[in-house]
Amino acid sequence: MKVAVRFAVLAVLALLMATAASAQLAKGFRGRVLDKNGKPMADIKVVIEDAGNPLNHYELKTSAEGSFMQAGVPYSDKGYKITIYPPDLPPATKQEMGRLMDMIEVNFDIRKDYVMKQSEIKANPAADAKQMYDLNDYEGAVTKANEAIASKDIDKDSLKAAKLIKATSLQKLDRPDEAIAAYEDYNTNYPGDVTVLGILYNLYDKKGDKAKAEAFKKEYVAKGGQVTGASYNEGVNAFNAGNMAKAAEFFEKALVENPSDLDAVRQLATCFGATGQYDKAIPLCEKYLKERPSAPDKETVEQILQYCKDQLHPKKK
């Protein structure tokens, strides 16, 4: 708890004692945060804020058991918003009315709170695949992406997203032949994506198919991609395996070897963003956007930049 917040609570309690309950207190809020496997999530930021009075604002972290508790909050006729900030996922908020001298239990379960309603899935067939991917359930993401791709009612944008989610998930699962087939299908339908061309080049190079690797390398370079050294490639391999910390080490090494390697700048920014090092990710995103203003992935990098800024300086509601 911040010192200012602790002082505010103590001040309220002192005032109550002096004036014989001239104001009312709600007992507070407590709860747990569980991950996608039902296990407690430690050190997760929790923000509790009065929906009617921004001065009543509390920030805390979950314990090793995934628990949090804030007692002695002022009563609010508009209720309180309880928000968690899990890594690699957007914030989740629940709103509760505090009751006088009653501890309200507010639990968060990633398995439930980050699964979209059926009505939302029907409105966007690729949404469930994206949800599975964001929860690192790559098997589930492939299954849902296939369902979306097979749907007769899918719109063009959702179909494109589903095909890319399928390819990326197969790559995360270390199923290179299936990943290559999925990326090639994507490239056939949406040709010229420099990132996908680079991935196909790396996958074929790793497989040992030099002819295919050279063909995609040539196209990748023609679209503005940069072919870098071994450190960058090792970083890509670690990134694709989901080891962001290790990937960051290789991308930092790649930048020592070649400070002008903007692809390494972009990848390192992504790694820092994924591991919660938002203060390090922000200047890298800004550098990439400044030096490559017409990059095909400009919108994606802008989204990463904004996400990191929001996480570093969350807006009060």
- Asked if pLDDT for residue 55 goes beyond 70, the answer is yes
For 144-164, the pLDDT digits (tens) are: 999 999 988 888 888 999 999
User: Do 23 and 124 sit in the same domain of this protein?
Assistant: no
Q: What is the structure's pLDDT at 7?
A: 37
Range of the domain at 14: 3-113
215-239 residue pLDDT tens: 998 898 888 776 666 788 888 888 8
Q: Which of 98, 113, 128 is the last residue of a domain?
A: 113
Please count the structural domains in the chain: 3
315 in a domain, yes or no? yes
Q: Which of 34-43, 115-124, 170-179, 235-244 has the lowest average pLDDT? A: 115-124
Q: What is the CATH number of the domain that holds 302?
A: 1.25.40.10
Pair 109, 151 in one domain: no
- State the average pLDDT over residues 15-34: 59
pLDDT band at 111 (very low <50, low <70, confident <90, very high): confident
Q: Which of 113, 140, 163 is the last residue of a domain?
A: 113
Q: What is the pTM of this model?
A: 0.42
Angle 114-115-120 from CA coordinates, rounded to 5°: 120
Instruction: Provide the pLDDT for residue 101.
Output: 59
Q: 70-91 pLDDT, tens per residue?
A: 887 887 888 899 999 998 788 8
Tokens linked to 160: 């494109």
pLDDT at residue 120 greater than cutoff 60: no
Whether residue 131 sits in one domain with residue 97: no
Residue 265 domain flag: yes
